[in-house]
Amino acid sequence: MSASIQSIEAILVDIPTIRPHKLSMTTMGVQTMVIVRIKDSEGLEGLGEATTIGGLAYGPESPESVKLTIDTYFAPLLLNQPADEINTLRVRLNRATRGNNLAKSAIETALLDLLGKRLNQPLHQLLGGAVHQHIPVLWTLASGDTARDIDEAKSLIAARRHCDFKLKIGSRPLMDDVRHVAAIKAAVGDSASVRVDVNQAWDESTAARGMAELQAAGIDLVEQPTPMKDFGALVRLSQKFHLPILADESVADATDMFTLAAAGFSGSVALKIAKAGGPLQALKVANVASAAGIGLYGGTLLEGTIGTAAALHAWATLEKLHVGTEMFGPLLMKDDIVVTPLNFNNNGVTLPEGPGLGIEIDEEQLARYRRR
């Protein structure tokens, strides 16, 4: 007889960032996480997390709406159900509720963590086992100040904390952004890979001009230059330039991935457990991308340690992460709510050990940062 779900709690947690984090659509000074705790009839607890970027600035779900959705709509569907039947519970949720993938991701993560704890197996083992124990992680230079970004990059390279960098651009005039990026690439030279993330800020003609300039400056990758719904622009730009494109906001789930690949897109895709609806769903996107010859990248919505660990367990099962990962969310926050933080080292992060996620809540820290 399987244990049943006894309680589901969704907690808003606000942690300041180490510096303002500037994107094309917002500047963040605090990250809000929704921490989900699912307890079963045997007294075990599974942890999940949902985050987004800048409230409603990034997408249609906010931390507050995620909490409301879980408390009001998901909990009644899940309480007293068998905790181990993750696929059945997902079907049950999807039949009764539309969208809300961030909230569904937190639930799927917590159920997987719970199952791992019951079986005394790490989450990656439930997904077929880890191919990698150490995963590369880039860093986003997002102060917006060229000199400060160069100093930050050089110190991180020297400390062997990161050797690949992403720059958030798109909020300023095109050539201002190009000069900013080109100066940073010139400063770090061949010692580091430099990519840019436009977060949908350009139209197609601006993107064509921008990509020509960035290609000449030695930039390695351009993430989501054009609006998410404009699949045609991504396809045309990917065919026009040898500077690769990383599709992010355009691809939430496996259906989006299939549609974009079938239209002729070549490049890479940013996998995100939050966009897809959980670690299992993100791996479905990876399967479609791999079948279409599209490269893989481990993406983040700047999750804290719980959400980051969930993604790492999924990415560790993939044979190749062609353009690495950006699982640096916990490093952007001034503090943490877990007993043992992730071990960032040697230009990457070590896969956590222990059953489930391998992560334990620090109750005092949770109480400190919990929204009143």
Q: List pLDDT tens digits, range 232-259.
A: 999 999 999 999 999 999 999 999 999 9
Q: What is this structure's pTM?
A: 0.96
Residue 120: left if φ>0, alpha if ψ -120 to 50, beta else—which one? left
Give 188's contacts (C-beta < 8 A, 6+ positions apart). 150, 153, 154, 157, 165, 194
Is 364's pLDDT higher than 70? yes
Mean of pLDDT over the chain = 96
Degrees to nearest 5, angle at CA 215 with 189 and 258:
115
Determine the average pLDDT of the residues in 53-67: 93
Question: How far is the first Cα of the chain from the last one, in angstroms, to the nearest whole number?
Answer: 38
Q: List pLDDT tens digits, range 76-91.
A: 999 999 999 999 999 9
What is the band of 1 on the pLDDT scale with cuts at 50, 70, 90? Answer: low
Is 97's pLDDT higher than 90? yes
d(CA 234, CA 200): 11
Share of the chain above pLDDT 90, in %: 92
Return the closest-CA partner of residue 77 out of 12, 8, 2, 10. Answer: 8
Per-residue pLDDT at 33: 97
Is 357's pLDDT higher than 90? yes
Determine the average pLDDT of the residues in 333-344: 97
More confident residue, 57 or 326: 326
Q: How many CA atoms lie within 13 A of 181 on its CB side?
A: 32
d(CA 190, CA 164): 10
42-80 residues labelled b (16+ CB within 10 A) or e (exposed): eebbbbbbbbbbbbeebbebbbebbbebbeeebbeebee
Q: What does each C-alpha distance from 274 to 74, 194, 343, 361 come to in angstroms?
A: 16, 25, 22, 20
Which domains, from first to last, does the chain contain? 5-120+364-369 (3.30.390.10), 126-350 (3.20.20.120)
What is the band of 203 on the pLDDT scale with cuts at 50, 70, 90? Answer: very high
Is 208's pLDDT higher than 80? yes
Instruction: State both tokens at 278.
Output: 């959980």
| Contact (CB, 8 A) for 313 and 351 | yes
Per-residue pLDDT at 369: 98
Any idea which residue has 């060229």 for tokens? 146
Mind telling me the catalytic residues? 168, 326
Residue 67 in 3-state DSSP? helix
Determine the average pLDDT of the residues in 156-169: 92
Instruction: State both tokens at 202.
Output: 């350009």
Per-residue pLDDT at 335: 98
CB 238: neighbour CB atoms within 10 A? 23
Per-residue pLDDT at 2: 81
Per-residue pLDDT at 142: 83
